[in-house]
Amino acid sequence: MASDQSFDPRFDPTFQRGFDAMAAGSMAAGPLEAAPVLPIVEGSGRVEQVGRVPVERAVVERAEALFVREPGPSLRGNPWIRVLWMTALLLAAAGAAAQYFAQRITYAPTAPTAAIEYVVPAMLSALSPWLFAVGLATGVATMVIHALRWYPGD
């Protein structure tokens, strides 16, 4: 015989497959009205009974574990987030400044040394895209971290 818990709780077990009338003598004999369908988990509250059938605590806890998101570690007080924002700003600003000064030196009317005329602008021009791109990517990654770790209580 199937246990009572295998029956659909919304309907009378008398009319469901596998019901044993002798074994279920203690159950109510009269016809049952259709029970309202209740959600197993409503927000954070616990449901102790669905229709007329009590719900075991373990079932409720398993359902809550499935549907209720556990908050992860918060970013509150995380010093590395500040470091990430500062790094992103510094790298992006350094990239923009490197490009600006490379152009300025290249088109300057006078050049005191070959290093300033040729080497410095070439290095700045070569490194500025990396600096700018890594700075932007770091900023975007930091924003994504904020979004993923955001909770209503934060």
Partner 1 sequence: MRPSRIGAFVGGGLLLLGGALLGVSAAEYLSSPQPLDSFSGNVVFTVNGRLVQYPSWAPDAPTVLLVGAGLVVLAVSLILTALAWGPRRDRVY
Q: Is 128 in the site for partner 1 (CB under 8 A)?
A: no
Contact with partner 1 (CB under 8 A) among 141, 143, 151, 154: 141
Q: Which of residues 56-75 bind partner 1 (CB under 8 A)?
A: 73
- CB nearer partner 1, residue 15 or residue 150: 150
Q: Which of residues 86-105 bind partner 1 (CB under 8 A)?
A: 87, 91
* Tokens found for residue 88: 């992103």
Q: What angle do CA 137, 87, 130 make, to 5 degrees?
A: 50
Q: Which of 100, 62, 84 is nearest to 134 (CA)?
A: 84
Q: Which stretch binds partner 1 (CB under 8 A): 3-11, 25-33, 46-54, 114-122?
A: 114-122
Q: What angle do CA 150, 134, 122 make, to 5 degrees?
A: 165
**Coil, helix or strand at residue 113:** coil
- CB nearer partner 1, residue 72 or residue 152: 72
Cα dihedral sign, 134-136-138-144: negative
Q: Which stretch binds partner 1 (CB under 8 A): 29-37, 44-52, 57-65, 108-116?
A: 108-116
88 CB neighbour count, 10 Å cutoff: 20
Which residues would be at the binding site for partner 1 (CB under 8 A)? 73, 77-81, 83-84, 87, 91, 111, 113-115, 117-119, 122-123, 126-127, 130-131, 134, 137-138, 141-142, 145
